[in-house]
Structure 1
Amino acid sequence: MQPHPTRLAVSVSKLPTRVQLKRWRDVSPFHCGRGVTSTALRHRWSAAALAAAATAATAARSRVHRRAGAAMGALRDATSEVDVVVIGSGIGGLCAGSVLAKYGKRVLVCEAHGTAGGAAHGFRCKLPKAGGEFFFDTGPSFFSGLSDPDGGRINPLKAVFDLLEVELPCHQYRSFGLCLPEGDFTHTPNFGSEILAPVSGKAAKREWDGLLQAMKPLAALVEALPVPALRSDLGALLTAGRFLPRFAMAGPWGAAQLTDPFAETVKRAGLTDPFARRWLDLLCFCLSGLPSDGTVTAEMAMMFGEFYKPSAIMDYPVGGVKSLVEVLVKGLEKYGGELRLRSPVKEILVEEGRAVGVRTAKGDIRAATVICNVSAWDMAKLLPPETADSRWCQDRAQMPPTKSFMHLHVGFDATGLDLGKLQPHYICLKDWQRGVEAEENAVLISIPSVEDSSLAPEGCGVLHAYTPATESWDRWKNLDRRSEEYKVLKEQRAEYLWKQLERPIPDIRQRSKVHLIGTPLTHQRFLHRHQGTYGPRIKAGQAEFPGAATPLPGLLLCGDSCFPGIGVPAVAGSGLLAAHAGLDTLPAQLKELERLFK
């Protein structure tokens, strides 16, 4: 009954097509260490790069892109069991595999566990005395843009659903809770008038309105090029070309702003109020794992549209987040792809300098293309020593990791509790002075049974509280999961989560019927994650995530260790970019664009 965790993710990402890896040794004096530093790598979500991607694919980067094209284009020359084998059924892997299946490839997705979805699946806990089962989400539960008919233009996950011609039914809601040092609030699109003005005054509200106005043209820029049109090779001339006139109208200055850290955009807009600036730091941290000085403006440009337009709504999948994964698997199988559970990959097969398949406990699987949906640190363990020791592989493995998580899943008695007064989500923070990245400070709470009563027995509810990647690995790394010391530390480190849960539900401990605690060791064990990390700590404006292509022919990457980075929208986008990494997918992509954007 251990949870398989990750964290909150909001569908606010937008993808450029630039693929460039700056060497970690060239940007950090701490390249030999494992600690988190402020000089880490970071992608730039640049709309200008979108417009220039096709021509930039020549010259210095053409060699890498040719190899990516060869990875997908050699299908007719290779004798393979399948065309594409995907390692890992996380959202990135499922998106890549299902889209390629739609494009006519023979796809096999290998998953080590008995359930698909990676960090984004769900699990059940049977409790006969409670009258049934509790269904818990393992990680992400905060979504937007999934039920918007036009959401596929800007939301990578919705774009994949549209490409696959599948639908995800969602509950919709408009508000979530804030438990802050200034008090408890209900967040709606009217944040400026309902929260900021009462806390900081009318002048702060005017500054906030100025920021909203400044973000509108930036959001329009991000929307100009639909997600399904994006590529990182010369094919972008054809897929993105029809949309470039809308983009070009904004001029180069607006596009350049999208690559800036969001803190600089906020400063230019004239927002100085301390409470508003702190709120934006917290919001950025929840979305990207970094405060506003490390979060790229393009990400926040889309978030502002999805959070603060008058018609803004949030989405929660009917039946829980497991339903989201089930829809992706349905799309994979709809077009002839296969998901193989309980099939951990032991090794990526490399012959004559090329990836040619994978080795599992049940035998080898030959494939023209291998798509790796595991972390940069864990990928190195799958490669032969001579490849794992190569410069490019070591560069990726030396990216600094973010911290890990504490999780608390609770099935509770809801008798006498007015669920209508609870919010589906809460963002809690104890002390602004300690900073949003401090341990035992920020907590995120999801109470999905507020929207979906099917997740718990009658008269009960479920919730998931977690620290957003602020838990240190060092505290846990030498512990035995079966030891008494580990059990004691779990309870101690979960205490802060219980205290924050008492803000929306004061008697939650007395109501609890079952609770499960997840730690960094839980992440490491169930997600095969190096140090239980959330992903690479890559800071906007300093460097970039590597792209899908690798110097090893036949090997492509997706997931949170490559562009565009961390979070559900980003990993879905990485899956799309991996699927579009070879020119042989271009005709199918153009056909789909014609269908989607007539």
Structure 2
Amino acid sequence: MVAARGHGRGRQPGGRMTASEVDVVVVGSGPNGLAAAVTLARAGLGVRVLEAQPTAGGGARTVPGLVPGVVHDQCSAVHPMALASPFFRRFDLAARGVELVTPEVSYAQPLPDGRAALALRSLDRTVDELGPDGPAWRALMEPLVEHADAVVGAVLGDHRRLPRDLVTAIRFGLRTLEQGVAPLWGRRFRGEEAPALLTGVASHAITPLPSLPAAGTALLLGTLAHATGWCIPRGGTATITDALVADLRAHGGEVVVDSPVRTRADLPQARAYVFDTTPATVARVLGDRMSPRVRRELLGFRHGNGAAKVDLVLSGPVPWTHPDVGRAGTVHLGGTRAEMVATERAVAAGRHSRHPMVLLSDPSVVDPSRVGPGGVRPLWTYAHVPAGSPRDMTDAVLDELERFAPGVRDLVVAAQCVPASRMEQHNANYVGGDIAAGTITMRRMLVGPRWQLDPYDVGVPGAYLCSAATPPGPGVHGMAGWHVARRVLRDRFGVHHPPDLRPSPARG
């Protein structure tokens, strides 16, 4: 392990840090904040994480369900990047007891007439299922799947440096351009299934379609669907958070919950501060130390469209019209490409769509532990809505489900909606229901919330932003935290080689 010179050495885990032992304060315990905290603690620093909520995890938490024996993932439930993220590969979740189970079908797109398109783990089988458009799907995806590590490195890496595999990065960029520009994105396909399949995964960006950021999202997630699969943590997403917190504590760090940071007075003295928060939060806390221009830019950071969370408990499996949809861990409910385009444009214009875009996860497809007494099981859904919408979307989600799974209403044991306007109560980063932590634009994905060389710099010496508002953007990958931790080690503590993240005994 590389130890930061003269800081944090010898502190034993288990006790509360004294003021003199706190080298770095991390505000927010989402995956990025915890990734930064783990890295810094393993380098020998005293790290304190401050979390406003009663539990750690940010967008990676699992909470008691609506009925006994059932738990719900509060935000993220499916993790395409958990197996591919360079941070998590170093951290090695499997070696820490986190079991990531992968469904045979990564995601499915049911169509209104009873047909369905499936993205299977196997690219060859996906091509066969797509019929006449199968060869076009192969031509689009195969060069990326064959170099999936390079794709991940280009998208999730430090954008201030050229990717190691420049050829793959250029190939990915050209395909993003093709799928993100209206005159080009339909030229490969002739049928409805393949375009709908690609559009459904693009909708994760919650932005009008087509667009370059949505295309990049679709190609990255589509690549991972065939390369590593869209995995689901057995027992719930909180198992990832628990592994991070356990490692942090084992190396002398601590997480303090119920500790909101509203002003600079809420921060203990430290040599560095890492914010896994909105840009506006940093501006409010440290604004008196910023230039007026930087503070104005951070306060003016644009948030995107909203999502309303609808948790359901069913008495049995979803009765999909197309039975193969029931093999997928993730289902995109939006119909045809044309329907999804109309829906996302309506949301961006501030209107609720008659057929909202619904993202659905059924963890019981691959995780029997999620099935409760008598066969009850959770069904996780998000519906895309205008930013700040107060509307209860339960009936709208069930109506959309009924389009593709008639009779599902009869299986509902319990239901609960968290409208977009209330999403901030569970995670302050989700302003107005913006679970992507900001409008998805190419600028934001590449250079962060303001124009500058270092996207994590907030204009205050020793302070950094590592949330999903910074590159590489939303997702449970920990990469923004990893990138920031290396900057902190180098710039504040003179450590130029990051620590080994593999499981190891705690410091002695």
TM-score range, shorter chain: 0.7 to 0.9
Change (3 A) 1:82 1:262: farther
Deviation at 1:509? 2.8
Specify the alignment match of 2:15 in structure 1.
none
Specify the alignment match of 1:171 in structure 2.
101
Separation of aligned partners in 1, 2:399 and 2:336: 14
Separation of aligned partners in 1, 2:215 and 2:457: 25
Give yes or no for the alignment of 1:142 onto 2:103: no
Separation of aligned partners in 1, 2:142 and 2:65: 47
Separation of aligned partners in 2, 1:272 and 1:184: 17
The secondary structure found in structure 2 opposite 1:552 is: coil
Which AA in structure 2 matches 1:142? V
Give yes or no for the alignment of 1:286 onto 2:204: yes
Partner residue of 1:86 out of 18, 26, 29: 26
Partner residue of 2:111 out of 180, 183, 203: 180
Identify the range of structure 1 (293-302 vs 182-191) with the bigger mean alpha-carbon deviation: 293-302
Over residues 182-234 of structure 1, what are the superposed CA-to-partner deviations in whole Å (9 max), with x where a residue is unaligned? 53425124333313x2xxxx2x333323223453577464367897xx6578x
Over residues 426-451 of structure 1, what are the superposed CA-to-partner deviations in whole Å (9 max), with x where a residue is unaligned? 11114543415144431111121232
Change (3 A) 1:417 1:268: closer
Specify the alignment match of 1:115 in structure 2.
55
The secondary structure found in structure 2 opposite 1:183 is: coil
Specify the alignment match of 1:162 in structure 2.
92
Separation of aligned partners in 1, 2:220 and 2:336: 28
Partner residue of 1:531 out of 413, 421, 432: 432
Separation of aligned partners in 1, 2:298 and 2:180: 27
1:67-82 equivalences under 5 Å are 80-82=20-22
The secondary structure found in structure 2 opposite 1:86 is: strand
The secondary structure found in structure 1 opposite 2:442 is: coil
Deviation at 1:513? 2.3
Deviation at 1:114? 1.1
1:260-299 equivalences under 5 Å are 260=177, 262-263=179-180, 267=184, 271-273=188-190, 275=192, 276-286=194-204, 289=207, 291-295=209-213
Which AA in structure 2 matches 1:107? V
Over residues 418-469 of structure 1, what are the superposed CA-to-partner deviations in whole Å (9 max), with x where a residue is unaligned? 99955432111145434151444311111212322333422211111211xx
Give yes or no for the alignment of 1:340 onto 2:256: yes
Deviation at 1:383? 3.0
Separation of aligned partners in 1, 2:457 and 2:5: 13
Partner residue of 1:412 out of 311, 314, 318: 314
1:154-553 equivalences under 5 Å are 155-159=85-89, 161-162=91-92, 166-175=96-105, 176-185=107-116, 187=118, 188=120, 189=123, 190-195=125-130, 197=131, 202=132, 204-215=133-144, 219=148, 221-222=150-151, 244=164, 247=165, 250=167, 254=171, 257=174, 260=177, 262-263=179-180, 267=184, 271-273=188-190, 275=192, 276-286=194-204, 289=207, 291-295=209-213, 300-309=218-227, 312-348=228-264, 359-360=265-266, 364-384=267-287, 386-387=288-289, 390-414=292-316, 421=326, 423-430=328-335, 432-434=337-339, 435=341, 436-437=343-344, 438=346, 439-440=352-353, 441-458=356-373, 459-467=375-383, 470-473=384-387, 475-476=389-390, 489-490=391-392, 493-503=393-403, 505-528=405-428, 529-534=430-435, 535-540=437-442, 544-546=447-449, 547-553=455-461
Separation of aligned partners in 1, 2:285 and 2:172: 39
Separation of aligned partners in 1, 2:318 and 2:212: 44
| Partners of 2:199 and 2:337 within 8 A in 1 | no
Separation of aligned partners in 2, 1:80 and 1:532: 39
- Structure 2, unpaired ranges of 5+: 9-18, 347-351, 450-454
Which AA in structure 1 matches 2:30? G
Partner residue of 1:556 out of 451, 464, 488: 464
CA RMSD of aligned residues (A): 3.8
Separation of aligned partners in 1, 2:148 and 2:318: 44
The secondary structure found in structure 1 opposite 2:96 is: coil
Using the aligned pairs only, state the percent identity.
19
Over residues 104-154 of structure 1, what are the superposed CA-to-partner deviations in whole Å (9 max), with x where a residue is unaligned? 111111111111111220110364xxxx3320111211223645xxx4xxx
Which AA in structure 2 matches 1:426? V
Over residues 40-90 of structure 1, what are the superposed CA-to-partner deviations in whole Å (9 max), with x where a residue is unaligned? xxxxxxxxxxxxxxxxxxxxxxxxxxxxxxxx99979xx844111111111
Separation of aligned partners in 1, 2:472 and 2:154: 16
Separation of aligned partners in 2, 1:251 and 1:462: 39
| Partners of 1:177 and 1:427 within 8 A in 2 | yes
Deviation at 1:289? 4.9
Relative to the length of structure 2, the TM-score reads 0.78
Deviation at 1:402? 0.9
Which AA in structure 1 matches 2:498? Q
Change (3 A) 1:301 1:506: closer
- Which structure is richer in relative contact order (CA contacts within 8 A, separation 6 or more)? 1
Over residues 247-298 of structure 1, what are the superposed CA-to-partner deviations in whole Å (9 max), with x where a residue is unaligned? 36x3995586488574369949962537334542332222575645222776
1:545-584 equivalences under 5 Å are 545-546=448-449, 547-569=455-477, 572-582=478-488, 583=490, 584=493
Separation of aligned partners in 2, 1:416 and 1:401: 34
Specify the alignment match of 2:13 in structure 1.
none
Over residues 533-571 of structure 1, what are the superposed CA-to-partner deviations in whole Å (9 max), with x where a residue is unaligned? 2222132379732411221101111111112112223xx
Separation of aligned partners in 2, 1:403 and 1:316: 26
Separation of aligned partners in 1, 2:242 and 2:387: 32
Change (3 A) 1:145 1:559: closer
Change (3 A) 1:218 1:317: closer
Relative to the length of structure 1, the TM-score reads 0.67
Which AA in structure 2 matches 1:191? T
Separation of aligned partners in 2, 1:138 and 1:251: 35
Change (3 A) 1:371 1:577: same
- Structure 1, unpaired ranges of 5+: 1-71, 349-358, 477-488
**Number of positions where the alignment pairs a residue of Structure 1 with one of Structure 2:** 459
Which AA in structure 2 matches 1:536? G
The secondary structure found in structure 2 opposite 1:581 is: helix
Which AA in structure 2 matches 1:425? T
